Structures are given as structure tokens and as C-alpha cells.
Amino acid sequence: MAEQTPIVKCLVWDLDNTLWQGTLLEDGMVTPPAAVVELIAELDRRGILQSVASKNDHDQAWKQLEALGVAEYFVLPRIGWGPKSDSVRDIAAELNFALDTIAFVDDQPAERAEVQFHLPAVRCYAAEQLPGLAALPEFSPATVTVDARRRRQMYQAGFRRKAAEAEFQGPSDDFLRSLDLVMHIERATEDELSRVEELTLRTSQMNATGVHYSLSELRTLLADPRHEVLVTTLTDRFGPHGAVGLELLEKHAHVWHLKLLATSCRVVSFGAGSVILGWLVDQAAHQGVHLVADFRRTERNRIMEIAYRLAGFTDEPCDCRAGLPAPPHEDIQRLHLLPAPCAPPPTMNLHAVSLQGA
């Protein structure tokens, strides 16, 4: 059985006679073909990051990209006079991408050969191949999620955030407060289901059960009035973090059953899991219902168990669990929280839907 072609995560562009027609230092005025501009925008819509490795004067080349209205599409550009293999390697390292997910396009065979020699895992393409690039399987992800369409903005926000943290003088808690974090918890839409499925698959450190829900299962739950499929998104003053959490909740007359809580590892340091639990506890208190949560201990999700315990969940006996269906796995615990007075959720400015009467 043939191996599936890995999807390209980042395409690194040469500039002269590749992205634009002509040589900047010789011609002064250079323009990209309309098809190249459309390709750049299309790859961005598919969630494929793009960068630059070009032998040029940095300031002049970047000014030209800005004048052409395409500079915003490129992350971590490397424009200078060093070997392009070094530039491509640096881009991959800073993105934390494997080299076999990087592609490089250049009009010069010698430059492609230099990159290929030093970085054999990188896929290299001639400029003449640009018209057909978008049709190649390695540039055609099977699913483009909501977060994929804004991947570039998320990475750019992350770079700004990282730079600000490096310059910040003071305790890390003060830096977190300076971010002006805002969390939204909302009912998932059909467009978000692919990203929701990703969260059930990819999160392990902050996944309460490790149970995977397929796209069809999530779609069924979304249509079921007894279930809430909730998506948590996070933004700060630098930009979006995207979808960072998923909550699957089944509502019974006197019990709300939290079947799955999963949050992205990217926001562990922000205490996102505790904030989500605080909001759910408050919502249950408004309704006067018990809150029951499924939890399965793994080698990686100890931090999730701590979040549950700190929120007041216990595995002590309680009749509230009697009417619930059996867990999907025998090693899943049923933790519960008795109705409690309403309290504001901790640490973040939280905007969320209310589950009252839903």
C-alpha cells in the first residue's frame, strides 16, 4: 500500500523570477503574475504557511512585497545573502515543522540543488511548476478547518506574543494579565466540527478521557437537543489563539453529564481548563443540578485531574450518577460536583453562551 504524501505545512518562496517577474536589484520595478498572487491567497486559505528565502537586499525586497500587497502572507522571511538551505532550515526550526513538511520553490536549478543536497527531505519545485502547484496532493489538505483558514494570523500573533514576553520585565503572572485574554464559549457550528474532531484526536495532556468522537458522531450530537457541543476560543491583544477547547455535555433533568473536556496544550499555562470548569460549575449552579464529569487517568493528563479536583469534583458516592448510561470504557471514573452557590469564573474575562433553558 503506497504511503500517503505528507501535506506541505509551509511553502518557502524565492523572489526574483519566481514570485515576481524580473530581478529587483537590476530592474527596480518588478511585478508578480496575477496567477501567483491568486496562488498565494489560495494556499493561505488552505492553512498552508508561506515564507521567503531570497538573495536580495532585505529592506528593498520587503518594501517591494509591501508595495505589491502580499507581504502580510509571509511569516519569518529570510532575505539576505547566505545559503538558501540555511534560510529554509531556520524557518522550519522556528516553526517547529519537520523538514518533510516544508516545500521550496525557485527558478534557479543551482539553488534548488543546494537546498536538496543539504536538506533532502525538503520538496523542491521549479518556478515553471507554479501554475499546477495548487492541484498537487501535497498542497491539497483533505479538510480545511476554521482554524486552518486563520493559521497564518495565529502564528503571526504568536510571534508577537513571544517577542513581548521576552521583553517583559516582571513575574509571568503579570505578563499573562497584560495579555487581556478573552475567552468565548459557544455552541459549535457545522463549520467548526472538523476542528472539534481534531481536538478530540490531538489533545492528550488536557483531555479528560481520551475518547475520540468522529465527525459523524459530533454531527449527531449537535442535532440532539439533549446535548451541548461547545467550542472554546481564546483571543488576546496580539490576536487569536483559535479554538482551544471542547466540551461535550448531556443534560438530564437533575444532572448535567460532562462527557468530554479537552483543551489545547497551547493554553495550559493560561489555566484555560480551570476557567472552563469554573464557568460550567456556575452554569450548573444556576440550574440547581449536579454536574458529573467523565475522567480517565492516563500518563499525560495528570494536570486535568488536578483541575477537576481543584474545581471541587469528587469520586465519593452520589445517587446523581445512577441514571447515567455506562461509560464507554470501564476505566472511566464518574466524578461529580454537588450544586453550589454561583460564583464568577476565575482569572479571565469570559464571554459565553448561557445554557439556562437550552
Each residue's pLDDT, cut to its tens digit, for the chain (358 residues) gives: 345 678 999 999 999 999 999 999 988 789 999 999 999 999 999 999 999 999 999 999 999 999 999 999 999 999 999 999 999 999 999 999 999 999 999 999 999 999 999 999 999 999 999 999 999 999 999 888 888 888 999 999 999 999 999 999 989 889 988 998 889 998 988 888 888 887 777 655 577 887 888 888 888 998 999 999 999 999 999 999 888 888 999 998 888 999 988 888 777 778 888 888 889 988 888 888 889 998 888 877 788 888 888 888 888 887 777 778 887 777 788 888 765 544 444 444 555 554 543 3
pLDDT for the residue numbered 340: 53
Residue 41: other Cβ atoms inside 10 A: 12
Strand order across the beta sheet in which 10-13 lies: 78-80, 49-55, 10-13, 102-106, 123-126
pLDDT at 205: 56
pLDDT of residue 352: 55
**What nine digits make up the cell of 183?**
475567552
Place of cell 449552579: 285
* DSSP 8-state secondary structure symbol assigned to residue 165: H
Q: Return the ∠ at Cα 288 (arms to 285 and 294), rounded to 5°.
A: 70
Residues 6+ apart with CB under 8 A from 332: 209, 294, 295, 296
Contact present, 272 and 244 (Cβ < 8 Å): yes
pLDDT given at position 155: 94
Task: Return the pLDDT at 89.
Answer: 97
As a residue count, the chain comes to: 358
Cα-based distances in Å from 228 to 351, 353, 355? 17, 11, 9
∠ CA(297), CA(298), CA(301), 5° rounding?
A: 85
Task: Locate 271 and state its grid cell.
Answer: 489555566
| 54 vs 25: CA distance, rounded Å | 12
Strands 239-251 and 227-236: antiparallel
Residue for grid cell 476542528: 195
Give the angle 19-21-25 at the CA atoms, nearest 5°: 95
Q: What is the per-residue pLDDT for 342?
A: 44
CB contact at 8 A, 43 and 50:
yes
Q: How many CB atoms lie within 10 A of CB 322?
A: 7
